[in-house]
Chain A
Amino acid sequence: MGAMREAAATRQDGPEAAPAPAGPPILDAAGVSRRFGAVVALRDASLRVARGEVVALMGANGAGKSTFVKILTGALKPDTGRIRLAGREVRLTSPAAARRAGLVPVYQEPALIPDLDVGDNLRLTRTPSGPFLHWAAELGLGAVRLDARAGALPLATLRVLDLARALAAEPDLLVLDEMTAALPTDLVDRVLSVVRAQADAGRAVIYISHRFAEIARLCDRATILRDGTTVGDLPIAPGVEEQAVELMLGGRLSAPAALATRASPAASGPPRLRVRNLAAAPKLAGLSFDLRPGEVLGVVALEGQGQDELFEILGGLRRPEAGRIEVDGRPRAFRHPADAIAAGLALVPGDRADALLSVRSVRENLALPALARPRAWGPIAMRREAEAVSRTIARLQIDTRAQGEARRLSGGNQQKVTIGRWLTGAPPRIFLLLDPTRGIDVRTKRQIYALVRDLASEGVAVLFYTSELPEVPQTCDRVIVLFGGRVVDALPAAEADEPRLMRAAYGLTEGEGGADRAREAAP
C-alpha cells in the first residue's frame, strides 16, 4: 500500500501529471446492461474516457468487467444502454466493426490464431507489418519471425505480439484486459511506458488490472464496477487504494484474516519433502530445498527460471534427469500423476484449464480427485459425496449460481474449485500451488491466503509459487528464490521485502551470502 501512495504521489508531482483533460469524451457508455439467462452480468454500467487518459476499469471477479469489455469491443451485444464514440452514437455489431471505429482490444487470452503464422495473423486483421515490427521492437521483442506459427510461441511473447498488433492499428481507444498478467517484470515495464506514451500522444486507453501498483503508475482515473453496476469513479491520488477496495467489495470485506491469524510456529522437525540436486535440462540445474509439515514455503522467480518444471516434476507430470525426491524420508520417483497423488502430493497448476473439467458440474469437479482412486471403481456413495462437496463449497465460499458447468463460473470461483477439488477428500500432505492467485480479484485472493494458512496450521506442507511479491510476507513462512534453475536465496518471509526478492530473482545476490543462505535452505 505504501508503494501505491508513493507511486501516486510521483504521478501527481511529475511533469506529465496533467489534470484529467476536459472536453468531449472519446468514449461515453451509459446504462449498459446484459443478462445471460437468469444471471444478470451487467445492470447499469457506465464509463467515460477522454483523449489523453488512461482509465482503469476495476472490480472484483464476477463484477462484470469481462462482459463490459466484450460489449465495448463488439464481441457481445448489450441488452440496453448506449455507447457514444467521439460524440456519435454507435452500434458495435462485431469486433471488426469496433476495430473500424478505432477501438482495438487486447483480450486476456491471446487472440492470435494458433495455426497461422504471425504474418498471416497480421493479414487477417489487415495490420501493416512495418508498424507492427516497430511496436514489437519498442515493446522489447528483438527479432520477430513473421513465419513462426503463433501456437509455437510462448504465452508472454504472444501477449506482447497481440499488443504490438493492436498498436499498429493506431487505435483511438486501446482496451487492455489484464495485459500484464502473464508477463515477466522487465516486459511489464516496457508495456507500461509504451501504453502511457499512447495516452500522452492524445489517444486513450482502458486498462483492466488487479495490480494496484501498475494502476497507480499508469492511470489517471479508476472506474469501479460492483455487481454489474458502476459504483464509483476515482482520480488516482494518495489513499485511493483503500477507497477502491471499499467500493469494489461494498463493505463485504472481512479484515485481511490471513495476517491476523498468522500464528503457525516456524515448523520444525524432519522435513516432509526433501529435494536434492534436481536437474532437468535445460531449465533445472541442481535444485535443492526442504519443506516441513505446517510450513508455507514461498517460491519466487522470474518467468522461466525452472519453477514450472519443478512443479511438474513434483506433480508427476515430468521426470527429472537427476536428483532425489524424498517424502517423509523415503525416496520417491513419480512416473505418473497418480504416483504423486498416492504419495500425498497435490498440484494446483498455473492454468486452471489444465485442471478443471470445463463442461462438467462443480460437484463432479470437486468430487473427482477424492473418488478417482484407481481401486475404487465401484458405486459412489452419493450421500457421502454430496456432504463432502457441500463442505468444500462452504469452506471455500464458492459461488454456485452457475454450478452446472465449471466453465460458466467466474475466474475466481473456477480457481476456488481447482483448489477445492483436493480438499473434498482427505487433504494432501504436500500442497503444490503454482501461482494460485493470478488474475483473480482481491477478495478471492485474501480467501486463498487465509485457506493456505489454515491448511498449514492443520499440518499440511505448502509449496507456494507466486508472481506477486507482496504475497510472500502475507502468506509464507520462508521463501526461496530461483534463478537459472537453482535456489539462489532463501530467507524467512518476514525479511522478504520486494527489493530484496527482486534483486535475488535477477540473480544479483551472488557474493552477498545469498549462495550460503541458499545452501542453508537444504542443510
Chain B
Amino acid sequence: MTARPVAARPSVAIVAARHGWTLGLAVLLALLLALTKIIQPAFGATGLEALVRAALPFAFATAAMTVVVIAGGIDLSVASMMAVAGVTGAVLMQNAGDGAGALLAVGAVLLVGAAMGATNGLLIVGTRLPDIVVTLAMLFVWEGVALLILRAPGGAATPWLRELVVGPLVIPGLPPAATALVPQALLVLAVILAAIWLPLRRSRLGLGIYAVGSDETAAFRSGVSIGATKVAAYTLAGVLAALGGLSVTLATGIGEPIPGPYLLASVAAVVLGGVALGGGRGGLLGPLLAVFILRVVRLDLTLLAVDPNVTTIIEGTIMAAVVMAGGLLAMRERRS
C-alpha cells in the first residue's frame, strides 16, 4: 500500500535494443570501408572526400524523407522539390554576386523549400487524401515548376559556397594532416542536420511528430494538433529537400531542372536505416548511415568492375537481406 514512487533506471538491455540497429549499421559501414581499402589500396582521403560529396544530396533527401515517414506519411515529391530548389539557387546565385548576396540567395531557397513542403502538408491535411496520392501529384507539379524556372541546365553557383563542400577540413592552427581524413562536406552535413534534428528531438513538436506517426487517435487525445504537426513535418521536409537541391547545384556548379535519382534512394535508406514505414519509429542517424552504406556498396561494385545492371540487383538484394535479418533479430528478441 505504501510502495514509494520509484522511477526505474534505464537498463543496458533497453538502451541496446533501442540503438542496436544503428550500431549494427555503423559496424557494417566500417566493414565496407575496410573492404574498399582492400579492393583499392589507394583509397584514402581523396576517395573519402569524393564519396561524401557525392552522398550529400542523398543524405539531405533521406533526412527529408525520414521526418515525413516518422510522422506517418511519405513524400514522393522530394526529388522534384530538390530540382526546384536547385534551379532557384542557381538562378539567384548567378545574379547575386559574391558577398552577402549569396547568403540571401540561400535564405530564399530555404524559404522556397519551406513553402513547397507547407503546400504539400496543407493539401494533405486539407483534402484528407492519402499522403502518397497528394505527393505523387506534387511530384509532377514541382517538376513542371523547375522547368519553368530554368528550361535547360544553367545558372551558376557562388564560388565561395562551392568551396565549403570541397576538400578536406582545415582548422587554423592544426596541421592539415590531423584532419586530412575528414571531408569538409561531412562537417557541413553534420552541423546542419544536428542544428535541425537535435532541438527538434527535444521539442514538443518532435514528440508530436513521433506521436502522430505512431497512433493518430492516441496523439489527438493526448492533445497533439494532428493537422499542424503534419504540416510542420512536411514543411521541415521541404527545407531539408531545399538543402539537398542546393548541394546538387554547389557540387555541379549549375542548376539542373530534371529531378535526380533521389526519391527511391531516400526511401531505400529510410527503410535500411530502421525507420518503420508505418511511422512512429526510428531516428535520423540510422538512415544517414544507410545512405553511406548504399554509396560505398555502389563504389565497391564499380571498383570491382561489376556490370552496372548487376549492381542494382546486388543493391536490392543487400537491402532485402539486411531488413530481413533485422526482422529475424526482433522476432527472436520478442520470443526470449
A interface residues, Cβ below 8 angstroms from B:
75, 94-96, 99, 105, 107, 109-116, 120-121, 123-125, 129-130, 133-134, 136-137, 142-148, 151
Known: A107-B221, A147-B14. A123 touches B4 (CB 8 A): no
* Other-chain contact of A94, B10, B211, B217, B225 (Cβ < 8 Å): B225
Assess whether B81 is interfacial by the CB under 8 Å rule. Answer: no
A143 CA to B224 CA in the complex, in Å?
A: 28
Interfacial residues of chain B within 1-20, with CB under 8 A of chain A in the complex: 3-8, 10, 14
A124 CA to B221 CA in the complex, in Å?
A: 11
Interfacial residues of chain B within 219-257, with CB under 8 A of chain A in the complex: 219-225
Interfacial residues of chain B within 185-219, with CB under 8 A of chain A in the complex: 204, 207-208, 210-211, 213-215, 217-219
Chain B nearest CB, measured from A352 CB (Å) = 17
Assess whether B281 is interfacial by the CB under 8 Å rule. Answer: yes
Count B-side interface residues using an 8 Å CB cutoff: 28
Question: Could you tell me if B4 and A112 are in contact, using CB atoms closer than 8 angstroms?
Answer: no
Besides A114-B215, A115-B213, A134-B5, 6 new A-B residue pairs in contact (Cβ under 8 A), listed by A number: A120-B207, A121-B222, A137-B4, A143-B6, A143-B7, A143-B8
A125 CA to B204 CA in the complex, in Å?
A: 9
Chain A nearest CB, measured from B274 CB (Å) = 13
Chain A nearest CB, measured from B308 CB (Å) = 39
Assess whether B273 is interfacial by the CB under 8 Å rule. Answer: no
Question: Could you tell me if A115 and B281 are in contact, using CB atoms closer than 8 angstroms?
Answer: yes
Question: Could you tell me if B224 and A124 are in contact, using CB atoms closer than 8 angstroms?
Answer: yes
Q: Which residues of B contact A96 (CB under 8 A)?
A: 223-225
A131 CA to B33 CA in the complex, in Å?
A: 50
Return the chain A residue nearest B2 by Cβ. Answer: A137
Q: Which residues of A contact B117 (CB under 8 A)?
A: none
Q: Which residues of A contact B155 (CB under 8 A)?
A: none
Known: A115-B280, A133-B5. A75 touches B220 (CB 8 A): yes
A116 CA to B218 CA in the complex, in Å?
A: 11
* Other-chain contact of A113, B4, B6, B8, B210 (Cβ < 8 Å): B210
Chain B nearest CB, measured from A65 CB (Å) = 17
Q: Which residues of A contact B220 (CB under 8 A)?
A: 75, 94-95
A116 CA to B211 CA in the complex, in Å?
A: 7
Q: Which residues of A contact B218 (CB under 8 A)?
A: 109-114
Question: Could you tell me if B7 and A94 are in contact, using CB atoms closer than 8 angstroms?
Answer: no
Question: Could you tell me if B223 and A94 are in contact, using CB atoms closer than 8 angstroms?
Answer: yes
Q: Which residues of A contact B225 (CB under 8 A)?
A: 94, 96
Q: Which residues of A contact B276 (CB under 8 A)?
A: 115
Question: Could you tell me if A113 and B214 are in contact, using CB atoms closer than 8 angstroms?
Answer: yes
Q: Which residues of B contact A113 (CB under 8 A)?
A: 210-211, 214-215, 218-219, 222, 280
Q: Which residues of A contact B211 (CB under 8 A)?
A: 113, 116, 124
Q: Which residues of B contact A134 (CB under 8 A)?
A: 5
5 contacts between A and B (CB under 8 A): A107-B221, A125-B222, A130-B5, A137-B4, A143-B7
A468 CA to B335 CA in the complex, in Å?
A: 31
Q: Which residues of B contact A112 (CB under 8 A)?
A: 218, 222
